[in-house]
Amino acid sequence: MKKFSNHIIILTTSCENQKYPKLFFLTFFKHNFEMGETSFAKKAIILTVFFTSGAFSAVLTNILYNMEAKGFHNVVKPFRKPWFQGWGMFVGMSLLILDTPFIKRCKCAPYHIGGTVRGWGLFRLVSIPALCDLTATVLQNIAFLYLKPSIWQMMRGSILLFTALFAIFYRHKRLILVDWIGVITTIVGITVVGISSILSDSDSGNTANVSTGMQVLAMILIVIAQGLQAFQTIVEEELLHDVDATESEIVSYEGIWGLYFSTFIAMPLANIMPESAGEGIFEASLESFYMIANSWKVLLATVAYIVVIVGYNQSGMMITLFSTAIHRNIYEALRSIAVWMLSVIFYYAFPGLGAGEKLDLMSLVQLLGFSISILGSFIYNRVIKLPCLPAEVKDPAISESKPLLSNAD
């Protein structure tokens, strides 16, 4: 078993005594526990961090897109930088490298822990989910330019379908009738959410004056991104359960790979695009740093975004560690209600930010679609059991791991 201790992400480390000095950058939430022996309360804490950080990451993205600062030539413009935000996320994720055996043991050559390879071998494997993460993150950030936070989040529930498909064809798991009923119900709910977005008035925040065509295109981008993230979480599940890597290793290595791909491939490509290509395609990345330097508010919001997105990724990886990628993506769909509530609160509590969203008739349609999608998730996760239908696979060799929140601990 691997024991995870309370830890502090620091600025410097020592290879000689393998102890961290008291200088620190971020404090994370790991609690002393052993895998397989985590209490219900500690699992609930992980889920709380997942939902809270996930909700704030969406709202902070919305806030950043509506903040203004001086760019090049002293032109004041909104901080609508989807490529830079992805880069910032990978910066935060890469800091977790300080809590991995790779650094603690000061070894670059492959070594073994519990019979599994570490070092460069594992680092190379993580490049696959990292590339998926980069592509999906950028697509979602671009889509966020044209959608309300709650619509953006609720559309991400489509990941359940892709996760189920990859579980079948990649992990060779078998889904039964009740699984497909849950998946189809979720898709119906997401469709209702999408229709409500098209019919609603986009008159606030970053969705002002957005055409129906752009909203539809943004939703398509989200669905494509969910396919990539579904494959990413399936590979991460394999690394956590089969290769037996720690969550800090996966998150930090993904951060380093993502930082590399962003800095030397993705962002240069966005910079050489013609400015006429529009937001999301062209981006002057160096201008992002210039705007941050000219606005302490943008700086504060950017740092806050990096902190919460790292907490979200770390807690999500811990959920995958204790259950499966499918369960993690079900919880991902459930956090939509947290995003919606927080967006409404920010709209009315902080009107000057120009962020969030107001309550109107279409909000009820959104809630209906969300309720249907949650019903599908509950059916899939066996929270709601359908009569006359088997709830489990007969062959235990291909059955799923138990959900994260289970009292049978």
Residues 200-214: tens digit of each pLDDT: 765 555 555 677 788
Torsion of CA 125, 127, 132, 136, to 10 degrees: 140
| Residue-averaged pLDDT of the chain | 76
53-62, 65-74, 288-297, 328-337, range with greatest mean pLDDT? 288-297
67-81, 86-100, 189-203, range with greatest mean pLDDT? 67-81
pLDDT at 363 over 90: no
Contact by Cβ (8 Å): 59, 350? no
Phi/psi of residue 146, each to 5°? -125, 5
Lowest mean pLDDT among 82-96, 192-206, 338-352: 192-206
73-87, 116-130, 182-196, 208-222, range with greatest mean pLDDT? 73-87
Q: Is pLDDT larger for residue 39 or for residue 193?
A: 193
For the chain, how many helices (H) and strands (E)? 16, 8
Position 43 scores a pLDDT of 80
* Res. 177 pLDDT band, cuts 50 70 90: confident
Residue 313 CA to residue 171 CA, distance in Å, equals 22
| pLDDT tens per residue, range 259-296 | 999 999 999 999 999 888 778 889 988 899 999 999 99
Residue 323 CA to residue 231 CA, distance in Å, equals 16
pLDDT at 69 over 50: yes
pLDDT at 6 over 50: no
Instruction: Look up residue 385 and give its DSSP letter.
Output: P
Percent of the chain with pLDDT over 90: 21
Position 102 scores a pLDDT of 59
Lowest mean pLDDT among 65-69, 137-141, 277-281: 277-281
Residue 4 pairs in a beta bridge with 33
* Res. 343 pLDDT band, cuts 50 70 90: confident
Position 2 scores a pLDDT of 40
List helix spans (H) across 209-246.
212-241
Position 101 scores a pLDDT of 62
Q: Taking the CB of residue 14, how many other CB atoms lie within 10 A of it?
A: 11
pLDDT at 311 over 60: yes
H/E/C letters for each residue in 333-383?
HHCHHHHHHHHHHHHHHCHHHCCCCCCCHHHHHHHHHHHHHHHHHHHHCCC
pLDDT at 83 over 90: yes
pLDDT at 5 over 60: no
Torsion of CA 303, 304, 305, 310, to 10 degrees: 90
Position 278 scores a pLDDT of 78
* Secondary element (H or E) of residue 409: none
Contact by Cβ (8 Å): 276, 74? no
Lowest mean pLDDT among 34-43, 150-159, 224-233, 375-384: 34-43
The position carrying tokens 């943004």 is 218
- Distant-in-sequence, close-in-space partners of 264: CB < 8 Å, separation ≥ 6: none
Average pLDDT, integer, range 185-203: 78
Position 402 scores a pLDDT of 44
Position 203 scores a pLDDT of 55
Average pLDDT, integer, range 108-135: 72
Residue 22 CA to residue 43 CA, distance in Å, equals 28
* Res. 118 pLDDT band, cuts 50 70 90: low
Q: Is pLDDT larger for residue 396 or for residue 162?
A: 162
* Secondary element (H or E) of residue 68: strand 68-70
Average pLDDT, integer, range 148-161: 78
- Distant-in-sequence, close-in-space partners of 118: CB < 8 Å, separation ≥ 6: 101, 102, 107, 110, 111, 112, 245, 249
Position 115 scores a pLDDT of 42
Q: Is pLDDT larger for residue 19 or for residue 334?
A: 334
